[in-house]
Structure 1
Amino acid sequence: MIEASGLVKRYGAKTAVAGIDLAVRPGRVTGFLGPNGAGKSTTMRMIVGLDRPTAGTVTVDGRAYRDQPAPLREVGALLEARAAHRGRTARNHLRVLAATHGIPDSRVQEVIDLAGLDAVAGKRVGGFSLGMGQRLGIAAALLGDPATLILDEPVNGLDPDGVRWVRTFVRGLAAEGRTVFLSSHLMSEMAQTADDVVVLGRGRVLAAMPVAQLIAGAGSRVVVASPRATDLADLLQRNGATVSPGEEGRLDVAGLAASAVGDLAASAGIALHELTTVGSSLEEVYMSMTADDVEYRSSAAPSASDA
């Protein structure tokens, strides 16, 4: 279990993490979400002792990382996939790490097989693609067969088969009772992988709860399509609904149930070609929740008139 209490990290005048309290439980996959600059990587670095907190505490199974007698056997971490000597082969990189904890070569071969690296184990890391570097980082995190796994953007650069492998693998680890804490910007993948989520914005916790609870709390909307969409929108708005244009000419309706939309349309003789209740996605909830906490924004794409 990972526990943080009042966790703060400042770099000069900048506060990267501003008083985080969190608990990452064993037996579940916990997703760590937030915009760039929200403090996710800094928090993960503090968990494994790479950054010292300005204030507060963070422990893994009741101990600070620096107090773990055999860290690789307790906590496996992937924070930087390229953290390997470019001149070493993948196998030798893993063997060097294993030697620090007396881990046998047989385990090195096991994690090579688990991560799908057997075909490139004898090749130098400097020639690896981003995806292969990610697989090597995951293999290194697994070396000590740890009870806790911390993965920062583990699917970055992986092909669809690799993404599915990570999803299946981490869920299997959680099913064994291990603690799995991972970050990702791929909301659709996180929705399939995580049991719980912690959402950060500007170094503060915006939400910490099961994924299903977070999505359910956002409510649902009605999607409707009609050849008389303008008339229908006016009718629904007069009856208290909020109506906005949706995809492919549909209307997104909030404030009225689908049955009420159908009854109003029927009473006005307006034909409907579609009437559906749609729940919010994790991406929609996340975007809404963090809209005011995005530190780095892209400028709008230039229009034709700007060319």
Structure 2
Amino acid sequence: MIVAEQLTKRFGDKTAVSNVSFTVQPGKVTGFLGPNGAGKSTTMRMIVGLDRPTSGTVTVAGQNYAHLRSPLTEVGVLLDAKAVHTGRSARNHLRAMAATHGIGRSRVDEVIELTGIQSVAGKRAGKFSLGMGQRLGIAAALLGDPRTLILDEPVNGLDPEGVRWVRQFVRHLAAEGRTVLLSSHLMSEMAQTADHVIVLGRGQVLADAELSELVRAWTTNDVVVRSPRLSELVAALAGPDVTVTASSPGVAEISGVTAASIGDLAASLGIPVHELTSRTGSLEDAYLALTGDAVEYTSKEIA
């Protein structure tokens, strides 16, 4: 379990994290989301003692990370896949890490096989592609068979097979009762992986909820309707709770009423309907609604 209480970090005049409190429960994959500059990486660094909090506390399994007697076997961490000795082979990098905790070479061979880097294990890590570097970083995080896993953008640079493997593997670890904190900007992937979601924005917690609850609270369901007599149908549907947004000639997105009700009404009025598609909100929709006012870096809209 990871517990943060009133966690704050300032760098000079800039407050990167402000009074952040949350609990990452074992047995679940917890997604850690937020725009660039939201404070996710700083928070992760504070969890594992790389940054000292200005105020507040954070513990792993009830202890400050710096007080763990065998950190590698307690917490597996991937924050920067490039943090390796570029002149060492992948195997020797892992063996050097293992030696600090008395972990045998057989375990090194296990994580090499587990992460699929057998064919490059003898090559210098500095020559690795982004995807291979990520796999080596995951192997290092798994080396001590830890009860807690903290992964920052683990699927960055991975091919589809690698992305799927990470998803299945972290869910397997959570099912074993381990604590998993996973950061990613890939909303579609996070939607398939996470059970619980913590969203940061401008250094503060914007949401901390089960994924399904978050989506339900921050999105609306609508129905895409296509009809040659759309205006008649819309007029018949008019009501205080019904919202209609025209998307193209003869097509509209309607919220506040179900597809079944629209279909029944159209049939009763003899109005032909060429499309009637229910559309539910996604994690991406909820995330954008949540963080719309908390984005520090924005791109110019393309006209």
**Same-fold status (TM-score > 0.5):** yes
**Using the alignment, how far apart are the partners of 2:95 and 2:6 within structure 1?**
38
Say yes or no: does 1:257 pair with 2:258: yes
Corresponding residue of 1:196: 196
Q: Judge conservation of contact 1:29–1:170 (CA < 8 Å) in 2.
A: yes
Show the 5 A alignment for 1:232-271.
Answer: 232-237=233-238, 240-246=241-247, 250-266=251-267, 268-271=269-272
1:107 is paired with a residue of what secondary structure?
helix
Say yes or no: does 1:3 pair with 2:19: no
Q: Which amino acid aligns with 1:52?
A: R
Superposed displacement of residue 290, structure 1? 0.9
Q: Deviations over 1:168-195 (max 9, x none)?
A: 1101111111000000011111111111
Corresponding residue of 2:18: 18
Q: Percent identity?
A: 64
Corresponding residue of 2:294: 293
Superposed displacement of residue 233, structure 1? 4.1
Superposed displacement of residue 210, structure 1? 1.0
Bigger shift: 290-299 or 215-224?
A: 215-224
Q: Deviations over 1:219-239 (max 9, x none)?
A: 422221112334444554566
Superposed displacement of residue 243, structure 1? 1.4
Q: Judge conservation of contact 1:236–1:243 (CA < 8 Å) in 2.
A: no
CA RMSD of aligned residues (A): 1.8
Q: Tell me: CA distance 1:180–1:229, structure 2 relative to 1, closer, same or farther (3 Å).
A: same
Corresponding residue of 1:136: 136
Bigger shift: 103-112 or 214-223?
A: 214-223
Corresponding residue of 2:284: 283
2:10 is paired with a residue of what secondary structure?
strand
**Using the alignment, how far apart are the partners of 2:33 and 2:148 within structure 1?**
19
Superposed displacement of residue 288, structure 1? 1.1
Q: Deviations over 1:255-307 (max 9, x none)?
A: 22334433443455421112232221111111111111111001223x5xxxx
Q: Judge conservation of contact 2:229–2:250 (CA < 8 Å) in 1.
A: no
Q: Tell me: CA distance 1:149–1:246, structure 2 relative to 1, closer, same or farther (3 Å).
A: farther
Q: Which amino acid aligns with 1:117?
A: I
Show the 5 A alignment for 1:1-307.
Answer: 1-217=1-217, 218-237=219-238, 240-246=241-247, 250-266=251-267, 268-301=269-302
Extract structure 1 runs of 4+ deviating beyond 6 A.
none
Superposed displacement of residue 5, structure 1? 0.4
TM-score by length of 1: 0.93
Gaps of 5+ in 2: none
Q: Judge conservation of contact 1:226–1:273 (CA < 8 Å) in 2.
A: yes
**How many aligned residue pairs are there?**
302
**Using the alignment, how far apart are the partners of 1:154 and 1:222 within structure 2?**
35
**Using the alignment, how far apart are the partners of 1:109 and 1:43 within structure 2?**
32
Q: Judge conservation of contact 2:220–2:255 (CA < 8 Å) in 1.
A: no
**Using the alignment, how far apart are the partners of 2:157 and 2:212 within structure 1?**
27
Q: Tell me: CA distance 1:261–1:156, structure 2 relative to 1, closer, same or farther (3 Å).
A: same
Q: Tell me: CA distance 1:271–1:157, structure 2 relative to 1, closer, same or farther (3 Å).
A: same
